[in-house]
Structure 1
């Protein structure tokens, strides 16, 4: 049992951040990142900063970024990208469920491929709502619940395995509904499959949009 736990810790803490960096930096995904980052401005908080793949997509209007990232490995991997960035970036806590920031202190929030892994995603979204200023914007790019019943069935079948091997990642979260329920008005939404074979559809249906704090 100790060996299994040690192996899983090695996988989750050391190997998985590197696999995520590679798999979520393809050309198609980077185009999605550019789209979702458009319109960001002022002081921004980013949930699940990871290895800093969004940095090159920040618009010039972004004045600073508070990065919430639980993985020390991913944060270290982002060092070169942070050093090359014109945007000041500071690490701001480890847990999206308990943001280490004051109420109404940010103009915008950003989350890409992060809401799938947070255990209490509803609490995390309420925290985003709390730290945004009135009419602040939440930009999100997340994979989640697909529209076709056949794909949804496979999402539910594969979800226990996905959670075990991918750091708690859920496949079937209804992202727009979760965002709306947290006190946001979704003002722009694009939902589609990323390019690729149909067998990958349980993993590749993305919800990309912008929401305004109500």
Structure 2
């Protein structure tokens, strides 16, 4: 979800948007993203807690980081209904409230589009992951088609102002590789809202090598 602490109006809209998007297929994508996770997990930009119902029982704790107080309140209520222990905390992607190598996994779900500095966010994820840990991600990204990607570039300045800082033209997979992760991903077109055209999404795992 977007890191929208500087966009309180969009935070309120996002609750409705995320619920509608889940009904159109995002819930199934979240389920696939989190399948097989275990141990301690940090979720970055947890929003209103739409992932919480999908964590498998092998996860022993989730620390859910969310900067927006309105969305954090929704996340706390979702955490109370979850089947795994979830602690919702204040914080942002570029300054995670965690020690080095503290977690087995990190989760990014529709948030890397909107963090102000995606490289800093991924550097922080690398820091808090143990060697051999992994980041799970489900994100919308810049289209590989030159025309569609060009259109995304053109609309980004206005879109990010209206959409809680969201950048529709981010190349998230390249950013993950630049941060040092080994990336295994699938790319697909998905239409999260009826009034939007299908857009490119990626879902997968970014692994931190052992010994690093």
TM above 0.5, one fold? yes
CA contact (8 A) 1:68 1:94 kept: yes
Query: 2-side partners of 1:87 and 1:150: how far apart?
Result: 44
Match of 2:197, SS? helix
CA deviation digits over 1:119-171, x for unaligned, max 9?
01100000000000000011000001111111101101111111001111001
- Confirm whether residue 50 of structure 1 aligns to residue 47 of structure 2: yes
Pick closer, same or farther for the CA change 1:146–1:101 going to 2, 3 Å.
same
Task: Give the gaps of 5 or more residues in structure 2.
Answer: 1-5
Q: What do the CA deviations read for 1:26-66 (whole angstroms, capped 9, x no partner)?
A: 24111111111112110000011011111111011111001
- How do residues 122-141 of structure 1 correspond to structure 2 at under 5 angstroms? 122-141=119-138
Question: 1:78 deviation in Å?
Answer: 2.4
SS at match of 1:147: coil
Partner of 1:192: 188
In 2: Cα distance, 1:24 partner to 1:114 partner = 15
Partner of 1:31: 28
Equivalent in the alignment of 2:164: 167
2:200 counterpart (196, 205, 213): 205
Corresponding residue SS for 2:176: helix
Q: Is the 8 A contact 2:53 2:83 kept in 1?
A: no
Could you tell me which residue of structure 2 aligns to residue 96 of structure 1? 93
Q: Distance in 1 between matches of 2:127 and 2:185?
A: 22
Distance in 1 of aligned mates of 2:160 and 2:21: 17
Structure showing greater radius of gyration is 1
Measured in 1, the distance between the counterparts of 2:60 and 2:99 equals 18
Instruction: Answer yes or no: is the 8 Å Cα contact 1:47–1:67 preserved in 2.
Output: yes
Q: 2:79·2:87 contact (CA, 8 Å) conserved in 1?
A: no
Runs of 4+ in 1 over 4 A off after TM superposition: 195-199
Q: Distance in 1 between matches of 2:195 and 2:21?
A: 18
TM-score by length of 2: 0.89
- Equivalent residue for 1:76? 73
Aligned-residue RMSD, C-alpha: 1.9
Greater share of helix: 1
Greater RCO (Cα-Cα under 8 Å, separation 6 or more): 2
| Equivalence for 2:3 | none
1:49-107 Cα shifts (integer Å, max 9, x gaps): 01111111101111100111011111112233211112111123321101111000000
